[in-house]
Structure 1
Amino acid sequence: MADGLILAIDAMGGDDAPDVTVAGAELFVAARPNARVRLHGDETKLASLLSKATERIEIVHTDLAITSDMKPSQALRRGKGSSMWNAIEDVKAGRAHASVSAGNTGALMAISMLVLRKMDGVHRPAMTAAWPTLRGRSVVLDVGANLEADAAQLVTFAIMGEAYARAILGIEKPTIGILNIGSEEMKGHDEIREAHELLRNSDLDLDYHGFIEGDDISTGTVDVIVTDGFTGNVALKAGEGVARMLGTRVREALTSNILSKVGAVLAIGGLKQLREQMNPSNVNGGVLLGLGGVSVKSHGGTDAKGFARACELAADLANSHFREEVAHNLNKIRQKGIAAE
């Protein structure tokens, strides 16, 4: 697959589409000489944005697009034939190995589930996020697809997150932790404690660490953080807000007076490195795990570099064996009678 990888891109989805999506697609194919892209959207607009003609970027025309304010139910009723729908349909039909969209998250989840279906043993797919840490990056799931999750679903998230982390982070044996309000075994609600017992006593060959707390996420205590979508989304948005606040405060401190400005000039190398580490474009892209194909969600407000990173993530995942690994462990828990309701 590596020598003929094809991505299907919803070119009309995102805050600054199609400018950003086209520019991101060009960055992606420039970095991957053997990859090709199918751009779904308005042919006239897309053709005018391509910097140069290339046979590795194909435009697939459609007049329809999913709007940012469209509800998932509306997207399912009226979205067929749209750029988002057609990109996902490419994966189902085998015309592409993965799809990427920066469009409406709810619509993308609904259409992806309808078109690609769920893997056997998966009750609900989970949305992932890559979280910068002191050790590199960690994977957090779920970050919004499921407001609640029972114990069996949390075990499923752990299985999917572990295989996903191995595929994108290159860690042979990712460590797993369940997000809780404390590390003690008596803390947390019943579903979390039950999932903890199931993972601790399973024969799934997972490196299960146990409970972790919120401050463990950014320190990189574990490689995979498992939680329900409500808690995960709150944590993600809180982390993004803190990062923006710190960036603003650092800029203010370094420009407050002449001595601070001189110090900033002297520290320019370190400051550039810090900015690069905190740049959200470098970790852009969330994946709906548990589907019968690869569907990647790019942040709607990303730039071209960030969208290209989401395309890279989709390509890496399509080239991996993570779905086979997930299916293997899901079969194990079905045999043990652990099934998500």
Structure 2
Amino acid sequence: MDTSGTQSTETEFSTKGTYVTGEEYTRDTNYIETRITRGGEDGYPVEAGRYRLVVSRACPWAHRSTIVRRLLGLEDAISIGVTGPTHDVRSWTFDLDEGGVDPVLGIERLQDAYFKRTPNYPRGITVPAIVDVPSGAVVTNNFPQITLDFSTEWTEFHREGAPDLYPEALREEMTPVMKRIFTEVNNGVYRCGFAGSQEAYNAAYERLFVALDWLEERLAGQRYLMGGSITEADVRLFTTLVRFDAVYHGHFKCNRNKLTEMPVLWAYARDLFQTPGFGDTVNFAQIKDHYYIVHEDLNPTQIVPLGPDTSGWSTAHGRESLGGSPFGSGTAPTRPVDA
């Protein structure tokens, strides 16, 4: 993807992950593991206004943090910077901002914040990244931990009525569910798209659709992955599902069927899309621009398709009949979206 982070040099970075021609695509999961915690054990304590979350609307891994930040109401505690959907070989850039400069960090490239932390940072310049505003240095790009810490370390700044996205009583059950979603679905579409051989692609394709069939069955009798309310697991699955027909089905050759042809998953995805915090953080145009323009090896013409028709995302889904409540005992976010 856009955020996998492979080995890179001062002037070049990759956004796809690593793979060997003729073999299975392998994602580089070595991230900056520094954490922002209440106790500040890593030197970065939870502090409102100190940190800036840098994302791209195109990126599914960054999209997780955008959703969780909004669901928990952390907008006043953690500011957000949004890069453009495309980038050059060096870095994500702030070309959506006036003058191409992030108004808080004062930089044109996210690379600058990585180099502030580690000169000539040798891995991928990835989003999401949390930047320490006073120093201008990246604190972490460890996307799976970022959202969990939003739920567990930033509780002092959660909005009234914020949902519990990482319930302690469900964590033991959630862990294998989220692991399977990551390995087989979130990363599975990339194994298809960047397979280095027909054999590797065939195996990746089979694994992906076995997992999607498992999810279709799991969600047939319950509204959300862990039961009657939204959790971190749903956030992680949604960011792949919402991109499936727009880019993964064609661009990544994940074409056994479209999401719209899987009745349960399509209804589930629409249910989430119509829930505040999910669909209101989706930008289909930027998603397509990223994949079809940046991945020149897969799409050398860089032509961005006009379809698919996205109006179906707003149609009735019928999932209310399964009971439950999206936010559990909490309430929906009402604040206008800032990203």
Which TM-score bucket, shorter chain as reference?
under 0.3
With structure 1 as the length reference, what TM-score do the two structures score?
A: 0.27
Relative to its length, the structure with more strand (as a share) is 1
- Relative contact order: is structure 1 or structure 2 higher (C-alpha 8 Å, sep ≥ 6)? 1
